Amino acid sequence: MELRILQQNEDKTDHLFESADCQALLHIYEDYYPKTGFNLPWVAYLVVRENQVVGSCSFIGQPKDGKVEIAYWTFKGFEGQGVASFACKELIKIAQNADPKVILTAKTAPEHNASTKILANNKFIFKGIVQDEEIGDAWLWVLEN
């Protein structure tokens, strides 16, 4: 697997983006990049395996107050194959190479699930319940330094 930067204004007709999940992702970022900016390396990435997009991951904007949130998404049909674990590890590497002092955070649904296991396996620590505009009550995770 490898990461590829999700560029601004990707060609939606490219065969790489033919899945419904890819089209949904492109639609999200049409609105998202203009709001948050396209500031490398604090952008979205495609998770590509054998020339097929199997998921995505991103930084939620650029660091603010020394912190940046990460997120990842495994596309339908590829769950349980290590896509999100790979994405999480890669985002950690990117962030630490760009700014070793930045604090990585993540939010999950308030329940034990695959995502909470991935975060715990990557040394994220549960810090409490916070509000998230999409999730509502969410669990906040912070990478242990």
- Segments of the chain with pLDDT less than 50: none
pLDDT of residue 31: 87
pLDDT of residue 36: 86
Helix, coil or strand: residue 26 = helix
Backbone angles phi, psi at 70, to 5 degrees: -110, 160
pLDDT of residue 60: 93
CA dist 88 and 95 (Å) reads: 11
Domains of the chain: 2-143 (3.40.630.30)
Which residue has 């697997």 as its token pair?
A: 1
pTM: 0.94
